[in-house]
Structure 1
Amino acid sequence: MPTLYYSPQSRSDTVVALVRMLSADVDLREVTIARQDGSGQRDPANPHPEGKVPYLTDGDDAVRERGAIMLYLTDKYTAAGLGPLAGEPGRGAYLSWLSYYQGVIEPLIILKWANVSHPAIAAGLRDTDTMFARLSDALSKGPWLLGERFSAADMLVSSPFLWFSEMLPEDQAIKDWVKRCGERMNDAAA
């Protein structure tokens, strides 16, 4: 049985919500983590090489990074339909959004929060205006990133804006999408 190591009030909350939405047979193990405010500490029970969460183990497999964990889980627990499978319509967009989050969105948010800018960042990652334009473009085709289909990509990509709503642009479609995603995840937590 897979085991998900998580800590409440952290980036792992989204993956815990996904496990619940998938009705996945996953052992949820709460661990402590070192927090940004200096509280907490690395938990020796957490096998993540850096002591972070989320971290998923499944037999000899170990998966880290939220996008990879979410892909692993949606491919393994397919009944809820929260991720298009190989060969299904929307698979390319799904993989792209999971990767875009990890490779562009999260780094841009962290850099903006840290007030770091450099021409190399803009050349490689672009900027938050471009990122929000990509989101707006996708949402112009439907209420979710994959059009009419809600997926784990919506959960992942919307997650930082549920914590940091002040980072949202004035684009009402994006604000409404984040709200819908939050409602879906809150329903899973209840």
Structure 2
Amino acid sequence: MVKLYWAPHSRSVTSIWLLEEIGAPYERVLVDLRAGEQDKPEYRAINSMGKVPALVEGDAVVCEQGAICTWLGDRFPEAGLAPAIGDPLRATWLRWLFFAGNCIEPAYMQKFSGWETVKSRAAWGDPDTVYAALEKGLEHGPWICGERFTTADIMIGGGVFYGLAFGMLDKRPVFTEYAERCGARPAFIRSREIEAEALAAM
């Protein structure tokens, strides 16, 4: 069985969203970040960065949100959340999986922190370039890969929610409407319920 190490108010809630989309049994292990449990040797043995999420299945240990989305998408093909190897759509899927961490998150940090960067030297260019690319990517259907909801939407959707909530992403209709579609999914709603239940119990 899949075991997910997670904490409220962190990216790991997005992993719960993904696991709820898959629908297979899994175990949640709460890591109390306020108590410093992420720095204990037993957790550092799982993720040396001391971050959540971390996923364990048998001998496999998967850290980093994008890696978890890739692993679980391929691990549970019956859920239909990852295009198969050889499917041309997989190229688009991979592009957006990596775009979230490689472009959206650095763009948010640049905007939030007021970094000055040289556009030609920054891997993500600049926030305006990133947001324009994301807007164009969402023009082709309700989801980032068109008509099909995939784990790339878990990555991109989580990033869009965060950016809108904290004022780092412009409230353009294409972004707000996409966030509404993601937020209406039963698995997304359930992930927020799980987070709220955990917070209430802490």
TM-score normalised by the chain length of structure 1: 0.87
Tell me the equivalent position of 2:58. 59
Structure-2 change in CA distance of 1:160 and 1:138 (3 Å): closer
3-state secondary structure, aligned to 1:119: coil
CA distance in 2, matches of 1:120, 1:142: 29
Contact in 2 for aligned 1:161/1:167 (Cα 8 Å): no
How far does residue 2 in structure 1 lie from its aligned partner after superposition? 2.4
Identity over the aligned pairs, expressed in percent? 33
Tell me the equivalent position of 2:110. 111
- List runs of 5+ in structure 2 lacking aligned partners: 194-202
Q: Aligned to 2:37, which of 34, 42, 49?
A: 42
CA distance in 2, matches of 1:95, 1:81: 15
**RMSD of Structure 2 on Structure 1 (CA):** 1.9
How far does residue 50 in structure 1 lie from its aligned partner after superposition? 1.8
CA distance in 2, matches of 1:182, 1:113: 24
Equivalence map 1:78-93=2 (5 Å): 78-93=77-92
TM-score normalised by the chain length of structure 2: 0.83
Q: Which has the higher contact order (CA 8 A, sep 6+)?
A: 2
Q: Do residues 182 (structure 1) and 183 (structure 2) align?
A: yes
Contact in 1 for aligned 2:69/2:151 (Cα 8 Å): yes
How far does residue 123 in structure 1 lie from its aligned partner after superposition? 3.7
- List runs of 5+ in structure 1 lacking aligned partners: 34-38
Tell me the equivalent position of 2:169. 168
Contact in 2 for aligned 1:5/1:31 (Cα 8 Å): yes
Amino acid of the structure 1 residue aligned with 2:131: F
Tell me the equivalent position of 1:13. 13
Moved over 4 A (4+): none
Structure-2 change in CA distance of 1:111 and 1:123 (3 Å): closer
